[in-house]
Amino acid sequence: MSTLTTAGWILMAAFWLVVAFYVGRLIMRIWNERMVRCPETGAITLVRLTPAARGDGNAPGAEVEHCLLWQDGKEHCAQGCLARNPEACPVHRVNMPALRAYDR
């Protein structure tokens, strides 16, 4: 009887470890998202950034891993929104400098 109880505890612990793993992955993905204005379309969108090494030896930069506007066929944009990366707060906080219109 105690063997069944031990197996139940092991299964329950394994289940919660799997749940914690996937929740942690989701939080890490969301943590790298920024709300910015697209310089090409003028739309406000969410972009997910990933660290990227620069070829010139300077400090590492960032590149866009995912953008909500890419669903509209703009996967190969110039990623001009990265110019406002220092102004944009992570995790969807609204920061007005990052959302102001681009001067053309």
Name residues whose C-beta falls within 8 Å of residue 39's C-beta, 6 or more positions apart in sequence. Answer: 78, 80, 81, 83, 102
Question: What's the mean pLDDT in 79-86?
Answer: 78
pLDDT recorded at residue 92: 64
Residue bearing the bigger pLDDT, 19 or 3? 19
Using the predicted structure, report yes or no on whether residue 90 has a pLDDT greater than 80. no
pLDDT recorded at residue 91: 62
Using the predicted structure, report yes or no on whether residue 70 has a pLDDT greater than 70. yes
pLDDT recorded at residue 57: 63
Give the pLDDT confidence of 91-100 residue by residue, as tens digits. Answer: 666 666 777 7
Residue bearing the bigger pLDDT, 84 or 26? 26
- DSSP labels for 12-77? HHHHHHHHHHHHHHHHHHHHTEEEEE-TTT--EEEEEEEEE--TTSSS-EEEEEEEGGGGGT-TT-
pTM of the shown model = 0.57
Question: What's the mean pLDDT in 72-84?
Answer: 77
